[in-house]
Amino acid sequence: MDGPTDLASLKIGLLSSHTEVAQAAEAMLRRRYTWADADEAETLVALGGDGFMLQTLHSMLDAGRPRPVFGMNRGTVGFLMNDWRLDRLAERISGAKAVRVAPLQMQATTVNGEVHRSAAINEVSLLRETRQTAKIEILVNGRVALPELACDGVLVATPAGSTAYNLSARGPILPLQAKMLALTPISPFRPRRWSGAILPDDTAVCFRILEAENRPVSAVADQVEVREVSRVEVTLDRERSLTLLFDPEHALDERIAMEQFAT
């Protein structure tokens, strides 16, 4: 067998989650290929599941240095990942389809007046913290769209995130090319028949928590939680788009489209 294939000259770096399966895959890849240092690489290969992919993308947003990421599934679901294969990795990356996704920007204000900002690639969700039903006023572009939603919660999802928590909450699946956001209630009590809305992605959505001290609500941007919020504003951050790389036969836009036929 020949020596390790050089991916370092292509400025491709390798990251993996801390799970045993992902670490074993990393060891095999490092024996097969030489890699650029991850901090200096211009393209990254990520080994793990969807959670690790989100962690990787958030780390790049925080560092202000987004780079294309080619994920390989060494986790559970792997919706954002390609199939795991050891061979012909350079060819797969060079022939991959690039999919650009823009994150949501959440600004959450707590009942104490603290302001927290965080990005969300999948969704921003509001959830009741106690057995008390949450009561939430929803504003769209500064106008009151729903004076009071009594519910377990509510979320705003991107097309990339529309097949995640949003789908579990019976929200719509959005094609990746659709310039739309899904606004989806979670177990709505009143109005009971309101099933949510599909909004243009340049819409500013604001949630105002009614009776915030007696009916506490938390806001979650992907994996970042802010508790006891009084107001949450959500917009799409077009200036910080991210690039995911997919094998042409497993492109994210096709996966999202086919989820509409899942049984």
230 and 108 together in one domain: yes
pLDDT in tens, 101-129: 999 999 999 999 999 999 999 999 999 99
Mark whether 95 and 111 lie in a shared domain. Answer: no
- Shared domain for 172 and 200, answered yes or no, is yes
Ligand-binding site membership of 2 (annotated): no
Please indicate, yes or no, whether residues 121 and 209 belong to a single structural domain of this protein: yes
Which band of pLDDT confidence, cut at 50, 70 and 90, is reported for residue 1?
very low
As a whole number, the mean pLDDT across the chain is 93
Q: Is 76 annotated as contributing to ligand binding?
A: no
Neighbours of 183 (CB within 10 A): 24
Range of the domain at 254: 5-101+241-261
User: Annotation-wise, does 168 bind a ligand?
Assistant: yes
Q: Based on the domain organization, do 97 and 201 belong to the same domain?
A: no
Residues 26-85: tens digit of each pLDDT = 999 999 999 999 999 999 999 999 999 999 999 999 988 999 999 999 998 788 899 999
Contacts of 65 (CB under 8 A, 6+ apart): none
> Are residues 119 and 234 both part of a single domain?
yes
Q: What is the CATH number of the domain that holds 191?
A: 2.60.200.30
Total number of domains constituting the chain: 2
- What's the CATH number where 29 sits? 3.40.50.10330
Q: pLDDT at position 251, please?
A: 67
146 burial (CB, 10 Å; 0-12 / 13-18 / 19+) is middle
Q: Model pTM?
A: 0.86
Let me know whether 205 and 88 are in one domain. Answer: no
67 with 134, same domain: the answer is no
Shared-domain flag, residues 253 and 156: no
4 pLDDT exceeds 80?
no
Does residue 75 have a known ligand-binding role?
no
Among all residues, which ones are annotated catalytic?
Answer: 50
Give yes or no: residues 150 and 42 share one domain.
Answer: no
